[in-house]
């Protein structure tokens, strides 16, 4: 009830402020127009009067009109910036500097039929410098399985890199599989999602940067409850379910609230609880992928659906929605930088979201390491190259890390989810930090 009162108070104060600005501008414009009309009337009365009036006027009429228009634009712009700044104050800002490090853990999975690999025989150090580009912004998006509670931190259910490529005028989203076997600084090699459990966001960010030779410009965390609420505030998302997916969701607890286990095959609007359940399914095939590949594919589908729903909303609707969902987000990106990023996204003019996943096809094997079922890179460099190609393209102003060691035989080229052969640029520049 208190939140509703606060929202009402905020909306009322914002409306009052904007009404005051509008009223003031209207009065000013009317006064200026009346003055100009008066001058025009004097011009018609007498040539002598016209000469005298012209001498008294400081500015030509066209310049005065331009000044008024400019003033209006400036006031409206400042008011818009104030509103955006006020909204961004609702985000949870942190640098995660107080993150506690926990003892490492290893999953014990069903490893029947998998090749057992000695962890001592695996080399995962890429050895490259972090690749950067002055026209590319990379943000780590993390979905957490459980909140920090009593010394036990959850693992990350989803990890994605959101990319703003200014030169290509593109928005991109890369899923990184949680079962990917990686080197975790200060710990034993493990599944990627163990990095967050061991050392929180700082260690997860460092792990991704050092394994994939890529600089991340910031990170954003959303927990499951926040994910549901974001979708609910948008009014749900349009998702197409197969008959097997619908049947599975209706008979299992992936949709945690039983009253929502009524989905059907075909395209429909899923609420937050249903969409979250859909995005976590891994034991039912999509049309093309199974296991964790199907799960990450569903996560990309849901994020695309959120993006599409966002595009369908009017500005007033988005303003109201953002006020409610921003407190569900935690980030280490400061407010002024977020405003810069938002401005950059708006100037792109794109309405599409390009997606891919890591590891790429033909660059990993399903193996057993330390009793875990993992995705073991056949060639870490092939995955690095594919990731860099997708994010940076063949841009000339990029810094490329040197090739590191890999385990096993390298494939002849690698492919992304669209099956295209990857390549990578070799020229250099320095990334400008925000």
Q: pLDDT truncated to tens, each residue of the chain (434 aa)?
A: 444 545 555 455 555 544 554 455 455 555 555 555 555 555 454 555 544 444 444 555 555 555 555 554 554 444 555 566 777 888 999 999 889 999 998 988 878 888 999 999 998 866 678 999 999 999 999 987 654 444 467 678 789 999 999 999 999 999 999 899 999 999 999 999 999 999 999 999 999 999 999 999 999 998 777 888 889 989 999 999 999 999 999 999 999 999 999 999 999 999 999 999 998 888 887 766 667 788 888 888 898 898 888 878 776 777 778 788 888 889 999 988 988 888 888 888 877 889 999 999 888 999 999 999 999 998 888 999 999 999 998 644 444 433 333 333 333 333 333 333 332 222 233 333 33
In a domain, residue 197? The reply is: no
In a domain, residue 56? The reply is: yes
CA neighbor of 122 nearest in space, from 428, 388, 361, 367: 367
Please answer whether residues 193 and 156 qualify as being in contact, where contact means their C-beta atoms are separated by less than 8 angstroms. yes
How many CA atoms within 13 Å lie on the side-chain side of 366?
11
Q: Write down how long the chain is.
A: 434
Report yes or no on whether pTM surpasses 0.75.
no
Round to whole Å and give the CA distance between 227 and 142. Answer: 11
Listed in sequence order, the DSSP H helices in 313-379 are: 315-325, 335-348
Please answer whether residues 237 and 270 qualify as being in contact, where contact means their C-beta atoms are separated by less than 8 angstroms. yes
In a domain, residue 22? The reply is: yes
CA neighbor of 172 nearest in space, from 212, 220, 138: 138
In a domain, residue 121? The reply is: no
Q: How many domains does the chain have?
A: 1
| Six token digits for residue 246 | 């619908």
Query: What does the buried/exposed string (b/e) look like for 74-87 if buried means 16 or more CB atoms within 10 Å of the residue's CB?
Result: eeeeeeeeeebeeb
Domain that holds residue 12: 2-88
In a domain, residue 14? The reply is: yes
In a domain, residue 262? The reply is: no
Label the pairing between strands 364-369 and 115-116. Answer: parallel
Torsion angle (degrees, nearest 10) of CA 193, 194, 197, 201? -60
């Amino acid at each position: 009830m208190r939140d509703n009162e606060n929202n009402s108070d905020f909306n009322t104060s914002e409306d009052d402020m904007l009404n005051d600005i509008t009223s003031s501008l209207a009065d000013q414009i009317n006064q200026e127009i009346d003055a100009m009309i008066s001058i025009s009337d004097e011009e018609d009365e007498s040539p002598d009067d016209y000469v005298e009036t012209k001498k008294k006027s400081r500015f030509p009429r066209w310049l005065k009109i331009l000044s008024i228009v400019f003033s209006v634009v400036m006031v409206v712009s400042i008011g818009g910036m104030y509103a955006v700044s006020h909204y961004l104050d609702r985000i949870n800002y942190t640098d995660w500097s107080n993150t506690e490090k926990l003892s490492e853990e290893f999953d014990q999975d069903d490893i029947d039929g998998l090749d057992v690999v000695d962890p001592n025989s695996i080399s995962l150090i890429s050895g490259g410098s972090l690749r950067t580009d002055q026209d590319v912004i990379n943000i780590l998006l993390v979905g957490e399985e459980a909140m920090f509670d009593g010394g036990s931190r959850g693992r990350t259910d989803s990890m994605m890199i959101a990319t703003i490529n200014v030169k290509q005028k593109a928005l991109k989203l890369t899923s990184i599989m949680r079962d990917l076997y990686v080197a975790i600084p200060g710990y034993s090699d493990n599944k990627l999602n163990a990095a967050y459990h061991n050392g929180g966001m700082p260690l997860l960010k460092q792990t991704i940067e050092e394994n994939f030779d890529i600089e991340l410009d910031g990170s954003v965390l959303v927990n499951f409850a926040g994910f549901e609420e974001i979708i609910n505030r948008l009014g749900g998302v349009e998702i197409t379910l197969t008959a097997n997916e619908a049947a599975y969701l209706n008979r299992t607890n992936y949709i945690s609230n039983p009253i929502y286990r009524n989905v059907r095959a075909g395209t429909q609007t899923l609420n937050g609880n249903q969409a979250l359940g859909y995005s976590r399914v891994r034991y039912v095939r999509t049309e093309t992928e199974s296991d964790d590949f199907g799960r990450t594919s569903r996560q990309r589908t849901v994020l695309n659906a959120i993006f599409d729903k966002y595009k369908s909303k009017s500005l007033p609707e988005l303003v109201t929605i953002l006020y409610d969902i921003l407190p569900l987000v935690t980030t280490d990106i400061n407010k002024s930088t977020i405003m810069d990023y938002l401005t950059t996204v708006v100037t792109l003019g794109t309405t599409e979201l390009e997606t891919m996943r890591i590891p790429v096809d033909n660059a990993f094997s399903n193996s057993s390491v330390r009793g875990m079922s993992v995705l073991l890179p056949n060639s870490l460099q092939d995955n690095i190259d594919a990731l860099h190609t997708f994010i940076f393209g063949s841009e000339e102003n990029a810094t490329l890390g040197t090739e590191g060691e890999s385990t096993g035989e390298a494939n002849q080229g690698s492919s992304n989810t669209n099956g295209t052969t990857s390549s990578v640029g070799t020229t250099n520049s320095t990334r400008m930090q925000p």
